[in-house]
Amino acid sequence: MAAQLILQDVSLRFGGIKVLQDVSFTVEPGRIFGLVGPNGAGKTSLFNCISGHYRPSGGSIKIDDVEVSGSRPAMLAGHGLARTFQHPALRLHETVLENVLLGAHTRLPGGPVEWALRLPRTWRAERALREEALALLERHGLGWAAQLPADELSHGLHKGIELCRALLMRPRLLLLDEPAAGLPHTEVEQLIETVRRLRSEDDITVIIVEHHMGLIAALTDRVVVLDHGRKLMEGSATEAQSDPRVIEAYIGKDAADDAA
């Protein structure tokens, strides 16, 4: 079942630098939610706080009313959270299938000793996960590449591999960090259809950081715009694109005045 995400006054500081300041919003279960803003707005830093890669300096992050602020990524996976990165972190000399299976570590029964001993329930679980990973690759058009080294595939296909790896974790809340970056138009259209299918068929809440406003407008139910680590506005993508504050944040006050 899709997860709810609640942020309340989330802040992040590195030394004396305020990266995020009192960011609050709620993403209801099953929504596709956009997080947008100019470069340096704090979008990826906020993603890193939500996904456990940064520990917030203050505020609250809840998944389904459970406080998870400061939790490590492995613990957050247990709450149904998975994410992709702007630059896919793949093991390029390993096969596509092996890269996808890296997303299964939180679902293996037992622990390191049991895994090392290769007990029956461990290898049964590994076999089932391998079959599930292959099915994911087939579903996302990558079944043909399962046994190829990842470095033989394009940047766009690397993003597909990373998405399959995240989906193998069976997330209820999926964070996508600039999934359209570097993709040609045809692959952006495919990405839009994929995300829509994830929401409708898999019952996943999706949060997207993205500069591609066409994708944001086509996909999202609601967006939050960040600027200099603060929440600038919240509303629909259409409202964001026409908001004078957002226009000023993206192109600068002087340019916005000239445009007016």
pLDDT for 200 equals: 86
State the pTM of this model: 0.89
The CA distance from 255 to 260, in Å, is: 9
Q: Return the structure tokens found at 114.
A: 């049991």
User: How remote is the C-alpha of 134 from its chain's centroid?
Assistant: 22
With a pLDDT cut of 70, the percent of the chain lying above it is 90
Q: Is the pLDDT of residue 157 over 50?
A: yes
Q: Is the pLDDT of residue 79 over 90?
A: yes
Predicted local distance difference test score (pLDDT) of residue 116 = 59
Residue 141 half-sphere exposure toward CB, CA atoms < 13 A: 11
The length of the chain is 260
In the block, residue with structure tokens 């340096």: 40
- Quick check: 42 and 229 in contact, CB under 8 A? yes
CA dihedral 169, 175, 181, 185 (to 10 degrees): 80
Convert the pLDDT of each residue in 109-127 to its tens digit.
565 545 555 666 676 778 8
How high does pLDDT run on average in the chain? 89
Percent of the chain past pLDDT 90, that is, above it, reads: 67
Per-residue pLDDT, 253: 45
Residue 37's closest CA among 255, 209, 253, 243?
209
Q: How far apart are CA 58 and CA 102, in angstroms?
A: 32
Tens digits of residue pLDDT in 18-69: 999 999 999 999 999 999 999 889 999 999 999 999 999 999 999 999 999 9
Tell me which of 171 and 110 has the higher pLDDT.
171
What local confidence, expressed as pLDDT, does residue 211 receive?
Answer: 84
Containing 200, the helix (H) or strand (E) segment is helix 185-202
Over residues 191-219, mean pLDDT: 91
Tokens read off for 166: 């995240």
State the Cα–Cα distance between residues 28 and 235, nearest whole angstrom: 14
The confidence score (pLDDT) of residue 260 equals 41
Q: What three-state secondary structure class fits 114? A: helix
pLDDT at position 114, please?
58
Which is more confident, 114 or 138?
A: 138
pLDDT above 80 (res 259): no
Asked if residue 89 has pLDDT above 90, the reply is: no
What per-residue confidence (pLDDT) applies to 212? Answer: 83
Mean pLDDT on 73-85: 92
pLDDT at 213: 85
Which pLDDT score, from 0 to 100, does residue 119 have? 60
- The stretch 205-228 carries a mean pLDDT of 93
Location of structure tokens 């993709």: 183
Whole-number pLDDT of residue 22: 97
* Dist CA 217 CA 112 (whole Å): 45
Cβ neighbors of 154 (< 8 A, separation 6 or more) are none
Segment (H or E) for 77: helix 73-78
**pLDDT at site 258:** 43
* Pairing of β 173-177 and β 205-209: parallel
Domains of the chain: 5-80+171-259 (3.40.50.300), 89-158 (no CATH)
Distance CA 244, CA 42 (A): 20
